[in-house]
């Protein structure tokens, strides 16, 4: 057994005698680009994303028998979003296991939310392949699902874009617009920046690894500043 991951596996409550999949789960693309490794974690990330969504969906289905589809969808989105997964990554100290180029590491790559979130998805994919669905589910149930109570208490499960649209249409009689401010990064790690506008006036901005997430972040920023732009319109 490679002792490198013994502490992490103990925290997760699982055991893997062969840690090849774990090593791949924590291998960032930049590490491969330097020629140090020939396989990175993106395929595991792809698999883990689907496994995670199924685990969360199944949990919500049984946990909330009286909730409507739309509300459960909001719960699920809040649990599988970059921020929630990055939070899980921070608690598990995933950053210290990440393998990346010197340049990426020196730029704080081991602390970047989207890299941590991607690594968590890849970890779930690795657990699914190596130990089966049951073990992957047990890890998610222990280290991610308990966050839902606080998410609901803080209202983080609510759809920020819908809230912004309702407020603006009710008060100003117009529909908010979303403007792409910037698009940067390589194809596999794009970062988008959006602004939400009322009649051309910027009321919020946000970034995300997809256009949808960036728009949601911009809407949330607008909600955070609602008193300011509501008073000045």
Q: Which among 195, 97, 15 has a CA at the least distance from the CA of 6?
A: 15
Tokens 């280290």, residue located: 143
Q: H or E segment at 208? A: strand 201-208
Q: Please confirm, yes or no, whether 49 is among the known catalytic residues.
A: yes
Rounded-to-integer distance, Cα 12 and Cα 10, Å: 5
- The conformation of residue 190, written as its DSSP 8-state character, comes to -
**Active-site position among 42, 45, 104, 121:** 121
Q: H or E segment at 172? A: helix 160-172
**Active-site position among 45, 49, 104, 207:** 49
Identify the sign of the CA torsion 70, 83, 52, 64: negative
Rounded-to-integer distance, Cα 26 and Cα 29, Å: 10
Catalytic positions are 49, 121
């Amino acid at each position: 057994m490679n002792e490198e991951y013994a502490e992490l596996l103990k925290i997760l409550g699982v055991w893997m005698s062969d840690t090849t999949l774990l090593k791949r789960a924590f291998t960032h693309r930049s590490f491969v680009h330097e020629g140090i490794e020939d396989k990175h974690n993106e395929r595991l990330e792809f698999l883990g994303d689907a496994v995670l969504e199924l685990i969360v969906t199944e949990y919500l289905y049984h946990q909330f028998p009286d909730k409507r589809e739309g509300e459960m969808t909001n719960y699920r989105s809040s649990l599988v979003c970059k921020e929630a997964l990055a939070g899980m990554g921070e608690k598990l100290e995933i950053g210290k296991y990440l393998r990346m180029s010197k340049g990426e590491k020196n730029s704080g790559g081991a602390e970047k939310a989207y890299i941590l979130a991607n690594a968590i998805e890849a970890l779930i994919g690795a657990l699914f392949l190596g130990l089966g669905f049951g073990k992957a589910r047990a890890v998610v149930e222990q280290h991610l699902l308990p966050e839902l109570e606080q998410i609901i208490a803080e209202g983080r499960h609510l759809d920020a874009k819908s809230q912004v649209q309702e407020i603006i249409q009710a008060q100003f009689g117009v529909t908010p617009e979303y403007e792409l401010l910037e698009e940067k990064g390589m194809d596999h790690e794009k970062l988008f920046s959006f602004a939400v506008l009322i009649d051309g006036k910027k009321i919020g901005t946000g970034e995300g690894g997809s256009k949808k997430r960036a728009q949601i972040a911009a809407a949330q920023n607008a909600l955070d500043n609602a008193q300011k732009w509501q008073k000045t319109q």
